[in-house]
Amino acid sequence: VLSEFTDADAEAIFAYASNPRVAEMVTWDAHQSLEDSRGFLAFLASKASPQFRAWAIRDPQSLRAFGSISFSQYDVRGQIDYALSADHWGCGLVTEAAQAVLAWAWEEYPALMRVQAYCLPQNAGSRRVMEKCGMHFVELRPAAMVVKGRAVDLAVYAMERTK
């Protein structure tokens, strides 16, 4: 289930985002305290606009959040980002969530022509998610950004509007 985050999600976010394995290949540090998770919620709230949407990935029964996925619109381009609790990896959940967000975005933004996603080249799981969503590998961008004080290469994936 995908739905908006609320302030009540801070503890559930902390439960997965405090895991160093989850934070290893993302731009943010593993959460050290509930304050970091509340900070994440504040960050999402500060970005709220027609050009940015974020959803909690929730257990369908308990509705407890165990991941996140977001969509950012930049004119005719879009971008998706995601993270999931380590104990749910490998079940197809982020692929399912990303496919749902992509289908939503093509409808929601008629001007959207292309959606991109980025990951560290060694993030095999993320690369596979992008492929399973129908994205194609575009390029390996050397020293594309600084993450946790280090210049990193990025693998760029994209898909174009088909209808």
Q: Residue 100 and residue 153: Cα distance in Å, rounded?
A: 28
Under the binding rule (CB under 6 A), the answer on residue 94 touching ligand COA is: yes
The residue (of 44 and 129) whose beta carbon lies closer to ligand COA is 129
Among 29, 92, 100, 103, binds ligand COA (CB under 6 A): 92
String of contacts with ligand COA for each residue 98-127, x by CB under 6 A = ---------------------x---xxxx-
Q: What is the DSSP string of 91-124?
A: SSHHHHHHHHHHHHHHHH-TT--EEEEEE-TT-H
The residue (of 110 and 147) whose beta carbon lies closer to ligand COA is 147
Site for ligand COA in 125-144 (CB under 6 A): 125-126, 128-129
Under the binding rule (CB under 6 A), the answer on residue 25 touching ligand COA is: yes
Under the binding rule (CB under 6 A), the answer on residue 80 touching ligand COA is: no
The residue (of 145 and 163) whose beta carbon lies closer to ligand COA is 145
Which tokens hold the place of 32? 């050290």
Q: Residue 81 and residue 71: Cα distance in Å, rounded?
A: 7
Q: Residue 133 and residue 46: Cα distance in Å, rounded?
A: 28
Under the binding rule (CB under 6 A), the answer on residue 159 touching ligand COA is: no
Q: DSSP letter at 29?
A: P
Among 43, 90, 103, 139, binds ligand COA (CB under 6 A): 90
* Nearest CA among 106, 100, 86, 115 for reference residue 3: 100
* Nearest CA among 60, 125, 133 for reference residue 90: 125
Contacting residues toward ligand COA, per CB under 6 A = 22, 25-26, 82-84, 89-95, 119, 123-126, 128-129
